[in-house]
A and B are shown apart, each in its own frame.
Chain A
Amino acid sequence: METFHIIILLLDATFRVATPLVLAALAGMFSERAGVVDIGLEGKMLGAAFAAAAVAAVSGSAWVGLGAGILASIALSLLHAYACVTHKGNQVVSGMAINIVVAGLTPTLGYAWFSMGGQTPHLGGDARFKSITLPFAEAVHDIPVIGYIYAELISNHNIIVYLAAAAVPICAWILYKTRFGLRVRAVGENPHAVDTAGISVDWMRYKALMVTGFLCGIAGSYLSTAHGAGFIRDMTAGKGYLALAALIFGKWRPVPTLFACLLFAFTDAVQARLQGVELPIVGVIPVQFIQALPYILTVLLLAGFVGKANPPKSIGEPYIKER
């Protein structure tokens, strides 16, 4: 029973950690499937986390905060689009620039507005998304295994965790079963075909990047108003890059990407659990090493185990009409 209990705890932590990864990776999926490299997921999440926490702190409503987070992220996404769709700039440079600007701007604004060393005030009450207890969770808690899993693992998460779970099938449906999805996929594979079909390539990419901004905004807001209780500088800590890695590992497809996110989140949950634990023979493993585990895993997976990833064919190339 003890092992079972630990596994449930680990999976529970996995879900919490995976939520922003899944949302950000799906966000990146729309951008990259449309042919625009989005290394700026990190910056957009961070920007959204700050905007959500700041507005939630002032307004006292987590929902208003979420709206602000989404708007901030969409604005950054449009900036990215303006630089690399309208002006055909380098997509990696534009994304990195967004990451750097946001990393500097958020603590600066935070300091100017709240004078708390770059942080936002601690969020409580309605300013933060609270865990939801699903119906019958209490009642079935004592039923062995199934009831216990339902009450401990499935129930008691905040609304954004469930939102992320729902986002996977919804995004898959949009990408594969709708006109918008068909055009997004086409514009990332062969924008010339899209242009000759009478569809504006630039406008399609703008639309895809707005979807990216929307999803990324939810991911960032989760960090500061649901998972955490306020904004801390650099609180994304590479999650945007991790999401991008999961997207590549998942070969730009929604369901494999979900599993990649869960795998990364699981190693993160495990590393948290391993800290300070004494193992036979080796003894206590240095914390730094354990904390590096998810990243080492990322590098290993991307280097060797993904197999041949077939990225969208026109990714990274600004669309320029040929003469």
Chain B
Amino acid sequence: MSEQSPALELRRINKSFGPVHANKDISLSVDRGSIHGIIGENGAGKSTLMSIVYGFYQADSGDIFVNGQSCHIENPQSSIKAGIGMVHQHFMLVDTFTVLENIILGVEGGYRLSEGLAAARNELIRLEKEYALEVNVDAIVGDLPVGLRQRVEILKALYRGAEILILDEPTGVLTPQEADHLFRILDTLRKQGKTVILITHKLREIMAITDNVSVMRRGEMVAHVKTRETNQAALAERMVGRSVLLQVEKKPANPKDTLVSIRNLNYLDADDVPRLKDINLDLKAGEILGIAGVSGNGQSELLEVLGGMLTPTSGSIRFEGRELVGSKAFTARNLRKIGLGHVPEDRHRSGLILSFSANECTILGYHDKPEYNRGLRLDRKSMVETCQSYIQKYDVRPPDPYLKASGFSGGNQQKLVLAREMEQNPDVLLVGQPTRGVDIGAIEFIHKQLIMMRDAGKAILVVSVEIDEVMSIADRIAVMFDGGIVGEIAASEATETRLGLMMAGVRETRPGAKEAV
């Protein structure tokens, strides 16, 4: 290998899945000892490209060079041999195993485990010191917080001798502080001469840590630039193909009456684990309340309780002065009828039926409305017409009311759900992860719609794990940690650092006191 040759070079890579051309003639060169960002919208083909490099898929055509040498990568095994390690978006760990067992899986060294485990333990202690990656190797992975699980993944790659480390959307599950810690680790890796490829759709991260950045759009590589010679707006434009507003424009909120008041809400799950602890919140007309927090801290349960899908263990939810908990109205169906709309956070699980056509999904939950029925039969004509009007208003693509929900992209599926719930004109709208898996262009549109509803005097609750999203559209922000509300601040006073600390459970009400809840 020569010193000049790039650590990884891709030449004219092509990959199709059926009719979808996921990667078109992709070429890429990654310098040794650098952090190279690959940015693009969801579905731009970033993950497919990296899966080809990791040997998960085979390219239809094209060549891969590692350290200047042509490399035929046909499965993860050969990629590992070539010195490539990957940290997947969804961790590839066995939750019931210890850290040590997870790390040696596949490289046990001999048929008996005991020797391999002992050797791995020593090697890991060395690696942990060298890269400042402290993890208790005897801990059960399922018990570790996500930030540590990610370190286990990085250690796993390093243990296999990875010289090139690919990280796929590594910060999706981290608090801003944890993400900063990850960046420090990546910086250490770079200093030790490792090459890092960072796949992300977050511009902030690209600017914070990378040396070079490549932009992908619709399966094509559209730009290679040095990070210090570009900026967020320019990159965003390259990703989307047109200029986008990163910050939504909105007038100051004009909050009026409290429509929903939640008091001392508690929820124990089936295993008697408290998921919601003494939640107190008010939703006001003409205001967007944002709930921030790392995913899995009770946000999902809060939405499901407010949406009538779960019954709280104790506490009260009042809507326009009327107690809902324990009343007949407290079901997912009846709450919608009295004016509480709900856009569930997981559109595949609860928002849509993927095998139903768009026009059928349009009436889900409202199928008993007289306009959709003619005697015992569904009124298909009116369903299609309604669907067509939603498609037009919300710019759903392709504009085909007969296409199955699974045939739409994530962003367009989300638009279908949003259209259905918003067009019922509810007084209160609960929205979970409004833009998860949605392209930047569509994000802008969805945010505008939510703000229009707010300006029309509706009360809106937005739960999102994207801190940027909460800061940009909410008027008031409450942060959840471990099932409780850590604090509530006005969006105008919110900074990433303040919210980040709250997301880690640090209360700031008592000055000077830094204590986890």
Contacts and interface: CB of A to CB of B under 8 A. Distances in A.
Interface of A: 176-183, 185-186, 189-190, 192-199, 308, 313, 321, 323
Interface of B: 17, 48, 54, 56-57, 75-77, 80, 86, 88, 90, 92-97, 101-102, 104-108, 110-114, 116, 271
16 contacts: A177-B112, A178-B111, A182-B101, A182-B113, A183-B106, A186-B97, A190-B95, A193-B92, A194-B106, A196-B76, A197-B92, A197-B107, A198-B76, A313-B95, A321-B57, A323-B17
Given A189-B95, A190-B95, A198 B111 contact: no
Contacts of A194: 105-106
A197 B107 CA distance: 8
Given A179-B108, A197-B105, A198-B75, A186 B94 contact: yes
Q: Which 7 A-B pairs have the closest CB atoms?
A: A197-B106, A198-B77, A193-B92, A179-B108, A196-B92, A198-B76, A189-B94
Contacts of B112: 177-179
Nearest to B271: A308
B170 to A, nearest CB: 15
Contacts of B104: 182
B482 to A, nearest CB: 23
A192 B110 CA distance: 22
Contacts of A183: 105-106
B106 A190 contact: no
State the majority secondary structure of interface residues on B: loop
A190 B105 CA distance: 12
Given A186-B94, A193-B94, A198-B77, A179 B110 contact: yes
Given A186-B105, A192-B88, 14 more contacts: A177-B112, A185-B94, A185-B97, A186-B94, A186-B97, A189-B94, A192-B92, A193-B93, A195-B56, A196-B92, A198-B75, A198-B76, A308-B271, A321-B57
A321 B56 contact: yes
Nearest to B87: A196
A194 B97 CA distance: 13
A193 B102 contact: yes
A182 B107 CA distance: 11
Nearest to B93: A193
A182 B96 CA distance: 11
A187 B345 CA distance: 30
A181 B112 CA distance: 10
Given A199-B106, A321-B56, A190 B113 contact: no
A179 B111 CA distance: 5
B94 A196 contact: no
Contacts of A179: 108, 110-113, 116
Nearest to A176: B113
Nearest to B270: A308
